[in-house]
Amino acid sequence: MNDLHNLSVKALANLLQTKEVSAVEVATRFLARMGGNPHNAFLDIDSEATLAQARASDAKLANGTAGPLEGVPVAHKDVFVTQDFATTAGSKILSGYRSPFDATVVQRLRTAGMVTLGKLNCDEFAMGSANENSAYGAVQNPWDTTRVPGGSSGGSAAAVAAGLAPAATGTDTGGSIRQPASFCGITGIKPTYGRASRYGMIAYASSLDQAGPMARTAEDCALLLSAMCGPDADRDSTSLDVPAEDFTASLGAELKGLRIGIPQEFFGEGLHADVRAAVDAALAELTKQGATLVPISLPRTELSIPVYYIIAPAEASSNLSRFDGVKFGHRAKDYTDLESMYKKSRAEGFGSEVKRRIMTGTYVLSHGYYDAYYLQAQKIRRMIADDFQNAFKQCDVIAGPVAPSVAWKLGENANDPVADYLADIFTLPASLAGLPGMSVPAGFGAHGMPVGLQLIGNYFKEAQLLNVAHRLQQATDFHLRKPEGI
Amino acid sequence: MSKLVQGYEVVIGFETHAQLSTNSKIFSRASVAFGAEPNTQACALDMALPGTLPVMNKGAVERAIEFGLAVNAHVAERSIFARKNYFYPDLPKGYQISQFEIPVVQGGEVSFYLEEGKETVHKTVRLERAHLEEDAGKSLHEDFIGQSGIDLNRAGTPLLEIVTQPDIRSSEEAVAYAKELHKIVTWIGICDGNMQEGSFRCDANVSVRKPGEPLGTRREIKNLNSFKFMQQAIDYEVRWQIDQIEDGHKIQQATVLFNPDTGETRAMRTKEDSADYRYFPDPDLPPLVIGREWVERVKGEMTELPRVMAERFVKDYALPEYDATTLTQSKAMAAYFEAAAKACGQPKLASNWIMGEVSRRLNAGEMTIEQAPVSAAQLAALIGRISDNTISNNAARQVFEVLWTEGGEVDDIIEAKGLKQMNDTGELEKIIDEVLASNPKNVEEFKAGNAKALNGLVGPIMKASKGKANPAQVNALLMKKLG
């Protein structure tokens, strides 16, 4: 069973349910692969904690009380709080922090039977597109260790791509699941805003943050997403009263008659030719299966960058105020009074991108600027959502690239944050509208790096997106290819 | 109408924080009971632990609806929670969740009576708004050498901040308004009204101006936690502001604290120091939507409001408006009156006794009606003995004193003290005849037309009857005999 790490969630679940392998065996195999922390993907590993969970799963498998994913390992992005592992959100300010409770998403996956392998590296407080903003060092892309894995869920994408975990959780605020999934050649989905509880997810931008699964296949994502979603009104007021759903139920449905909207704004001059070629090829495969392509327009696509970089930092500036050195997290050693304690603790604890966004957010919410920036951004945000609804009159799903290029070199944009911001252009619109979106491997581009196809659905149409991705994966093998040596 | 102070008109607006009487906090399930050990009633959310999210306590919303109905305000179908951002150690999230642009209660008014000289005047203060918000924790600066302690038990306690228009024109009106508001919130049961424990905290925005001029610059007196200090603080502040202006100084907008020991107000911070709170809608909380059905249900379940009850007292018991308003100062007082009135069938007598003897004894003993040793039933029994002529009013007062100080049954006390009126005409006539015989001078004077001479006869008759004679009967018999 030396190739356990190459198996899908579904295959592992089957082997575990039929008791061909034990949860402890599976966990042990992955823990062995995680040794030495390849690609710097993990921030906390505790094999005892993992094996304890695996033993509990084996007991359930033995006594017939197993969940559907009993014993299948999963690793969590470090913005989900966990009792069994430290939670830092990739920040020094939370170094060594241990939560007294589990995030709802973590709890639900545990209830489904999943065993936690550890916590995954990410951009500090999920702010970044390359995973270079982690206080604990950058993550390498397993396809080319000199390149970024994407961000902010870079550790999640790298871990799945490198076979360190069969699946991982991620969070997506402006593309943080889709873009690293694309850069690392795996599958990831962000559900409709409000479908997965945000309780226990350390907030970056509350009105945008959504949890979602990342795995090799659409089917695996469907399995995890089914366990993750569902109402949580007692703990998250923005959680929607939409029942949990079996997202695997409609997998395999034919694509005949499916209208795929192609937004012209996603195929402009900023899009690299290699990415375009891979996306076009994937679209051609979908049309071969009976789907039709419909040209559509999302006229405010470019505006989504300034709108996002006003709203997200505004919310972040307030969300991150609780990290003040008073109650938990880092407190500066030397300070003279309360104000100096605040200033020093936060100056030492936060990285430069986080500080940049706190300052931007503070500025746009300030007296005299609020109307011009924040209110204006909220208005355009509503228009962007309306644009999607207009588009969905003509099509069932929307497809396009996830990012303008393949993964760039580590350090390439280190001194140019705006270059990173601009690379978010295709993922931001769906985030601002609260729509479900996913990335599915579409081929390879420059330097042999993976390229993802982005699929955007209307509200609550996750099952439809997953089916389109699944059908593509039935006809292609991009999702099964692995970086050398994995 | 408004009284000037040294030629200045006083303008006051109130902001009152009423702690809502829920069991748990406004956005968490932690208890709000007063007096627990520090930080034993602060849950993960109250400590702002990463990943926690606020969930609205419906009980707090219901209390806000009740208040809106009680003051004839508009209960907003949709109101918005906003974040007020500032750093302070007892503010765990670094922001307070409050309502800013769209509050849950809009408009409304509070009316009350107050004594001005010998007159009783009716005054109405318009409300601007009332909004829901969470309280902060407490910083403890004692007992921690060189450091401060933080107690988050209070953090997240639900508050209703009630804001008036600048309609108040004197410290007396201010106190009367605050007392009336206190009565309303305790009457409808949304707040326990305990000022010592901080359940009802008033801030007064005070300014002065020459009549007809635009509003002056205001200073806000914070945390007036007793009605007595409220009046002292405002009076001091008004004098201080007038002195400043008279001396040629301008008033700077400021927040001030009243020191009860010195009787003075002192500035805490001026406007220049005030923070930019960067209010924005809280993305963790959807708009608070209150459907008409919810408001109607709350209305249906609400207790009878004081003004409605007062109107009913006027209508059902034929009480003067003043009596009705006075008796509805507290729910317990109103209940006491209704019980007594119903039991004795003499509402006006019951009202007189409660507003007279009962209130006098309560005030003297600094007691509330709930603590009165004479029950409504006992008072009714006593009134019954007056109206059936068993005892005189004077005798009734004696019985009341005994009831209040020693307790017992009305009839037993009357018996024991021998206070029963002499209703036996034969016996009384005998006494009268004797008195007439021994006071021929008075009889002559009376017959000569001196009406006052009658008093000289009544006195000895009452004395001879040991106070048991019915004065009305004595008069009637005398007139007949002297006819």
What DSSP string describes A352-403?
HHHHHHHHHHHHHHSTTTTIIIIIHHHHHHHHHHHHHHHHTTT-SEEEEESS
Q: Are residues B378 and B462 in the same domain?
A: no
Q: Are residues B357 and B461 in the same domain?
A: no
- Pairing type for strands A292-296 and A259-263 reads parallel
Q: Which of A80, A236, A318 sits opposite B95 (nearest CB)?
A: A318
Phi/psi of residue B276, each to 5°? Answer: -90, 110
**Hey, are the CB atoms on A314 and B54 less than 8 Å from each other?**
no
- pLDDT at residue A367 greater than cutoff 60: yes
What DSSP string describes B324-378?
HHHHTSSHHHHHHHHHHHHHHS-HHHHHHHIIIIIHHHHHHTT--GGG-SS-HHH
Q: Which amino acid is at B150?
A: I
Q: Which of A95, A318, A366 to mutate to test the interface with B (most CBs of B within 10 A)?
A: A318
Q: Are residues B429 and B403 in the same domain?
A: no
Average pLDDT over residues A318-330: 95
**Hey, are the CB atoms on B55 and A235 less than 8 Å from each other?**
yes
Give the CATH number of domain A4-256; options: 3.40.50.2000, 3.90.79.10, 3.40.50.10140, 3.90.1300.10. Answer: 3.90.1300.10
Question: Which residues span the domain enclosing B201?
Answer: 9-295
Q: What is the pLDDT of residue A105?
A: 98
Q: Are residues B397 and B443 in the same domain?
A: no
Is residue B232 a part of any domain in this protein? yes
Distance CA A7, CA A13 (A): 10
Query: What torsion, rounded to 10 degrees, do the Cα atoms B464, B465, B471, B473 define?
Result: -110
Q: Single out the residue in B295, B317, B336 at which a domain terminates.
A: B295
Active-site residue, selected from the candidate residues A57, A99, A156, A176: A176
Q: Are residues B144 and B263 in the same domain?
A: yes
Q: Single out the residue in B391, B417, B443 at which a domain terminates.
A: B417
483 residues of chain B, pLDDT tens digit each: 457 899 999 999 999 999 999 999 999 999 998 888 999 999 999 999 999 999 999 999 999 999 999 999 999 999 999 999 999 999 999 999 999 999 999 999 999 988 888 888 889 999 999 999 999 999 888 777 778 899 999 999 999 999 999 999 999 999 999 999 999 999 999 999 999 999 999 999 999 999 999 999 999 999 898 999 999 999 999 999 999 999 999 999 999 999 989 999 988 877 666 679 999 999 999 999 999 999 999 999 999 988 889 999 999 999 998 899 889 988 899 999 999 999 999 999 999 999 999 999 999 999 999 999 999 999 999 999 999 888 888 889 999 999 999 999 999 999 888 888 776 777 888 888 888 888 888 888 888 888 788 888 888 888 888 777 877 788 888 888 887
Distance CA B161, CA B15 (A): 7
Cis peptide leading into residue B207 (ω within 30°): no
B224-B226-B231 Cα angle (round to 5): 75
* Alpha-carbon distance B296 to nearest alpha carbon in chain A (angstroms): 25
Q: Is A152 a catalytic residue?
A: yes
Is residue B257 a part of any domain in this protein? yes
Q: Is A327 a catalytic residue?
A: no
Number of domains in chain B: 3
Residue B136: list chain A partners with CB under 8 A: none
Q: Are residues B281 and B407 in the same domain?
A: no
- Pairing type for strands A210-215 and A450-457 reads unpaired
Q: Are residues B324 and B188 in the same domain?
A: no
Scanning every residue of chain A, which has its alpha carbon at the shortest distance from the alpha carbon of B139? Answer: A326
Q: Provide the sign of the torsion angle of the four alpha carbons A308, A312, A317, A318, taken in this order.
A: positive
Interchain CB contact of A358 with B (< 8 Å): no
Is residue B310 a part of any domain in this protein? yes
Distance CA B261, CA B239 (A): 18
* Residues in chain B, total: 483
The one-character DSSP state at B180 is H
Phi/psi of residue B97, each to 5°? Answer: -85, 120
Q: Which of A198, A322, A342 sits opposite B53 (nearest CB)?
A: A198
Q: Are residues B343 and B444 in the same domain?
A: no
Q: Provide the sign of the torsion angle of the four alpha carbons A289, A292, A295, A299, taken in this order.
A: negative
Residue A321: list chain B partners with CB under 8 A: 85, 87, 93-95
For A161-196, what is each residue's pLDDT tens digit?
999 999 999 999 999 999 999 999 999 999 999 999
State both tokens at B446: 């009376």
Scanning every residue of chain A, which has its alpha carbon at the shortest distance from the alpha carbon of B57? Answer: A234
Is residue B4 a part of any domain in this protein? no
Is residue B163 a part of any domain in this protein? yes
Task: Calculate the CA B425 to chain-centre distance.
Answer: 49
Hey, how many other C-beta atoms are within 10 angstroms of the C-beta on B260?
Answer: 13
For A9-63, what is each residue's pLDDT tens digit?
999 999 999 999 999 999 999 999 999 999 999 999 999 999 999 999 999 999 9
Is residue B3 a part of any domain in this protein? no
Distance CA A437, CA A468 (A): 12
B107-B109-B115 Cα angle (round to 5): 155
Query: What's the CATH number where B475 sits?
Result: 1.10.10.410
Distance CA A180, CA A301 (A): 20
The answer to whether A72 and A9 are in contact (CB under 8 A) is yes
* Alpha-carbon distance B24 to nearest alpha carbon in chain A (angstroms): 14
For A75-134, what is each residue's pLDDT tens digit?
999 999 999 999 999 999 999 999 999 999 999 999 999 999 999 999 999 999 999 999
Burial class (CB in 10 A: 0-12, 13-18, 19+), B371: exposed
The answer to whether B163 and B57 are in contact (CB under 8 A) is no
Is residue B113 a part of any domain in this protein? yes
* Alpha-carbon distance B92 to nearest alpha carbon in chain A (angstroms): 6
Q: Are residues B270 and B367 in the same domain?
A: no
How many helices and strands in chain B, by DSSP H and E? 16, 17
Give the CA distances from residue B257 to residues B55, B136, B164, B200, B264, in Å, rounded to whole numbers and listed in that order: 34, 19, 20, 17, 8
Distance CA B397, CA B420 (A): 13
- Which among A448, A446, A453, A449 has a CA at the least distance from the CA of A473? A453
Residue with tokens 């009159």: A393
Is residue B335 a part of any domain in this protein? yes
- Pairing type for strands B280-281 and B264-270 reads unpaired
Active-site residue, selected from the candidate residues A8, A57, A77, A439: A77
Residue that wins the pLDDT comparison between B145 and A66 = A66
Q: Contacts for A365-368 with beta carbons within 8 Å, 24 or more apart?
A: A365/A314, A365/A317, A365/A318, A365/B85, A365/B278, A365/B279, A365/B280, A366/B276, A366/B278, A367/B276, A367/B278
Q: Single out the residue in B380, B398, B417 at which a domain terminates.
A: B417
Q: Is A176 a catalytic residue?
A: yes
State both tokens at A129: 């597109």
Q: Provide the sign of the torsion angle of the four alpha carbons B353, B356, B357, B362, taken in this order.
A: positive
Q: Are residues B381 and B247 in the same domain?
A: no
- Which among A48, A132, A34 has a CA at the least distance from the CA of A85? A48
Q: What is the pLDDT of residue B1?
A: 42
Q: Are residues B145 and B208 in the same domain?
A: yes
Q: Are residues B74 and B102 in the same domain?
A: yes
Hey, how many other C-beta atoms are within 10 angstroms of the C-beta on B70?
Answer: 22
